Amino acid sequence: MTLRALGVLLLSLALAPSALAQAPAAAGGGAGAGPAMTLTTTAFADGGVIPVRFSQAAPGAAPGEGTSPELKWASPPANTRSFVLHFHDMEVVRNRTTDDQVHWLVWNIPATATGLPEGVARGATLPDGSKQTSATGPVYRGPGAGANGPMHHYVFELYALDTVLPVDAEADAFATRTKVIEAMQGHILGKAVYLGLFRRPS
């Protein structure tokens, strides 16, 4: 099994059944289906190691932050009205629950968007009207797995929605994520995933 396949399998097991039911019809290759939505970056290979410059260990990075990589997507489903980007560490267990680490959550990205630039700035609301949060605050939180442990699996998930979510950020990023995921149910048209590995340099 490849790293990508393993990552997708682990992610699928972690998702609630209601979310799994939202698998995009277009990706199934049915009659009349278009190409599946894709998510890519030139920063690292899918299933490869995330460079230090995009992590919390980068020289000059503020505590718990980092520089976000440029992301591109293509072939969103028809009738897409917004996108949600969810970046998380699948190895972290928070408070003995199924919650993992919220490294970056960006929602209400306009349907006209085809990606996010490198180095998205801190701020609860971005210039295009989309909103962002993480466990650090309204900012990209780079990977930060410890040098003495195994590589962690970090996954970018992109969702295409048929709506704009009526969700405002809570003070707690985990509560915000719960609200966003709940609001997404029944509105997911498509999904794309990109996987990276990271641990801090020794």
pLDDT tens profile 82-114: 999 999 998 877 766 668 999 999 999 999 999
pTM: 0.83
Closest-CA residue to 133 (of 176, 185, 72): 176
Q: If DSSP codes are grouped into helix, strand and coil, which group holds residue 52?
A: helix
Structure tokens at 129: 């009207």
> Rounded to a whole number, what is the largest CA-CA distance in the chain?
51
- Cβ neighbours around 147 below 10 Å, total: 9
Say which residue, 202 or 139, is predicted with more confidence: 139
Q: Give the residue-averaged pLDDT of 190-199.
A: 98
Q: Which amino acid makes up residue 47?
A: G
Strands of 75-151, DSSP E = 82-89, 101-110, 115-116, 131-133
Structural domains in the chain, sorted by start: 3-25+34-198 (3.90.280.10)
pLDDT per residue over 132-185, tens digit each?
Answer: 999 999 999 999 999 999 999 999 999 999 999 999 999 999 999 999 999 999
